[in-house]
Structure 1
């Protein structure tokens, strides 16, 4: 197919400040007499031109990454979008093919497993408030109560339950089998959630029924603390813990979404952002404007917009805007949000021995920073903050290409990082190592 070089839409908002000063020891008369010499010897720096040039450079860099991806996939890429903030400016670039509507930094989309960083933030905020101990076993008691973190009932006696800690769930080192990603016996080679949702798109999922699959088939990857395996189900259990702790501490029935709204993202949070975490099967509609994810498979193309996310609570159910995600990850990782700086350091550095790049709901990538990435129903997204350069970046690609199987999907996923590196390099910061 023909490759498309693309059209582009861009905006920029600057954080430059300028404060006029008169230097100590220099009289106004001296400045007046020196002024002609200064004007003749120096060129005037136009900061607005500088910002415009940087915006154009970032746009061109994102255009090139999208063009390269199109050439590799041999078809159009609906859009590739980058929001980058440095100590001095914030630049947004949306690269789209001719005739496609651009994405904006306030366009809503599903950001998938970036949700895990919010879950970790919630757990660590509860830790700061002495509502839980993240290093405690999940069978331990919520501080000041006789209520355990997870139900003490037979229908929650899944493999290794008594040996798992909250910390291990956060690190993906608990060995909890992932019934959302991996095939489960009895479901025709599909995961439990995919098979169930295909049969009934309106099904209201619960963590209890996911845990039931672990028990029913005696599913686990390894003994806790002996390995690393990414597990959405492990984060579903963390969401259950957040729900139970908040319900006990508030004295009323609460959900995972309630806690995030009240403490992390809502109007009463330190840094409110336009982000939502649906927990109900009927909470499917994204606000306008929004983007649907596109999934290309051999012989088919399907868009996912309104969608039941109740199977992904705590691990991938979030949606929001690039502007909101940038505000969140930048302020959080700088220690200027809901968590104290010392707790942020724990989030960044408390890793399992099996995977030194995945800490507590946080990944680390050199020259990109601390954050997370996500992939769900045609959406790919990356959020990160680099403390070495004070640069944050959010990247969004509304495409899963499965026409070449894992090979084409990996090309899309890699494009997230290609775009992040390209934007950073263009502005003079270190790029791909």
Structure 2
């Protein structure tokens, strides 16, 4: 995927260390005028092991330094939270003079939002409010209202053949007007061109779908391949709002359902996470960290931002502990989804759909989770059921100075940092 400001892809100067040296401390006593040596002790600091948090810090420092060396640009921070059955450790690696991130810092976690969207869909399925195997043209259970409107504006390719499950898996073939060039927008995506022209534009799913209909855009027939699609998840976000509005009898948004049933204060595992849907809901609350986009001759920080084009696919923000709590409890079957429903999300992962299941992917020796990238922010959330280890990684940087190559180095560093943190605590690392 090309790294422009609306890209949401699914996917360090060697820090010098003072070596631990053996220190000898001799305590000698004399008796009277004889000057006889009667006591002497030796303390070897090598006998004192480095604490787990120090090991993780050193491992993440090394990964950040390796990335910085590869990019030949300063990496502002690399941040890792890892939880095992016995401990939880947070570290923030920064260059000399840098300001470490804290556990209370808010940031935009981009496409990790898709895991929350999939959770909401599967929660509705669990409640009988929808059937995730249904076609998107089918009726919402107990109503005469279809999941998506039966109007000319929604007459995009293969609409009648697409299922909710295929949207979750990125196997629907729905064209991505947020990532790929759309006719009439000078070689850019619809959302990028529109937001560049008017940063305050209130996006909605219908206008994105209209581009599919107008130009009859599609990647392939449903079920015939895999192609990551933000627009597919925008449609899922629309379905969540439509079903919730229908069932509650009043107008509801995607964020309403997430707050009321998935992450809010009355849910089984409340976490302080938001999903803004309005164009004027742009402020990232303090304490916060802004994403940095480096391009040749330019550096731009992104904090307050109109996320209405990313509803359901990339509009979430919160803290690293909140994300860790969510992915860990969700994948353990201890949150809003039953263990059986979580298993549905996991067992749909296969090579046929690029190892992507229902809103999650699988990574060897890391487990199930997601990545995200949006306006200078890159993040990973993941949980390994084999070791009961969860990891959250955040890098506030997009480096475009070497084009796609430097951008991908940043994304790959998310995994490198997660593996390094696991190895530091004695768990399997990169295969």
Q: Same fold per TM (> 0.5)?
A: yes
- Quick one: distance in 2 between partners of 1:339 and 1:104? 30
Cα deviation, residue 99, structure 1: 1.7
Cα deviation, residue 193, structure 1: 0.2
Structure 1 residues 19-66: Cα deviation after superposition (integer angstroms, max 9, x where no partner): xxxxxxxxxxxxxxxxxxxxxxxxxxxxxx97x700000000000000
1:170 aligns to what? 168
Structure 1 residues 98-153: Cα deviation after superposition (integer angstroms, max 9, x where no partner): 22211012210000000000000000000010000000000000000001000111
1:101 corresponds to 2:99? yes
- Quick one: distance in 2 between partners of 1:352 and 1:170? 13
Q: How does 1:271-310 map to 2 (within 5 A)?
A: 271-310=269-308
Of 175, 178, 181 in structure 2, the residue corresponding to residue 180 of structure 1 is 178
Cα deviation, residue 317, structure 1: 0.3
RMSD: 1.4
Cα deviation, residue 270, structure 1: 0.8
1:404 corresponds to 2:402? yes
Cα deviation, residue 352, structure 1: 6.0
Cα deviation, residue 353, structure 1: 6.0
CA contact (8 A) 1:334 1:341 kept: yes
Q: How does 1:118-267 map to 2 (within 5 A)?
A: 118-267=116-265
2:88 aligns to what? 90
1:366 aligns to what? 364
Secondary structure of 2:352's counterpart equals coil
Of 2, 15, 24 in structure 2, the residue corresponding to residue 5 of structure 1 is 15
CA contact (8 A) 2:181 2:190 kept: yes
CA contact (8 A) 2:293 2:397 kept: yes
The TM-score, its normalising length taken from structure 2, stands at: 0.89
Secondary structure of 1:145's counterpart equals coil
Secondary structure of 2:382's counterpart equals strand
The TM-score, its normalising length taken from structure 1, stands at: 0.88
Secondary structure of 1:257's counterpart equals helix
- Quick one: distance in 1 between partners of 2:326 and 2:217? 36
CA contact (8 A) 1:6 1:67 kept: no
Structure 1 residues 163-196: Cα deviation after superposition (integer angstroms, max 9, x where no partner): 0000000000000000000000110110000000
Runs of 4+ with deviation above 3 angstroms? none
- Quick one: distance in 2 between partners of 1:213 and 1:402? 28
Cα deviation, residue 354, structure 1: 2.6
Q: How does 1:7-22 map to 2 (within 5 A)?
A: none
Of 375, 389, 396 in structure 2, the residue corresponding to residue 377 of structure 1 is 375
CA contact (8 A) 2:422 2:428 kept: yes
Q: Label 1:417 to 1:352 Cα distance change in 2 as closer, same or farther (>3 A).
A: closer
Matched residue count: 390
- Quick one: distance in 2 between partners of 1:106 and 1:285? 16
2:76 aligns to what? 78
- Quick one: distance in 2 between partners of 1:354 and 1:176? 17
**Which ranges in structure 1 are unaligned for 5 or more consecutive residues?**
8-48
